[in-house]
Amino acid sequence: MARLRKPTAMLELNGSLRHNPDRARARANEPKPKGELGNPPAYFTASEKRLWRELAKMAHPGVLTCMDRWTVESICILMAKLRARAIKTQEL
């Protein structure tokens, strides 16, 4: 199995892109986020909105961006269902 590529930001930080400029040129067209994660979708339930804010708070600033909205949305919906099921199980 192939090794995962090191993120471009990490290569910039450790000076690898200065040492090997071809790597920088090869990554010139990588997508770059154009904004922050933002607020939860309007159609979310109250518990899903709470989970969105909880997850956004747990992440380091700048890690979750607008490019992660679909993933965060899916996680919040699934986690809300999981927690609701756990509460029902405890009540029995």
Predicted local distance difference test score (pLDDT) of residue 25: 87
> So what's the pLDDT on residue 78?
98
Name the band, by pLDDT with cuts 50, 70 and 90, for residue 24: confident
Per residue in 47-83, pLDDT tens? 999 999 999 999 998 889 999 999 999 999 999 999 9
Which pair of tokens denotes residue 29? 């067209």
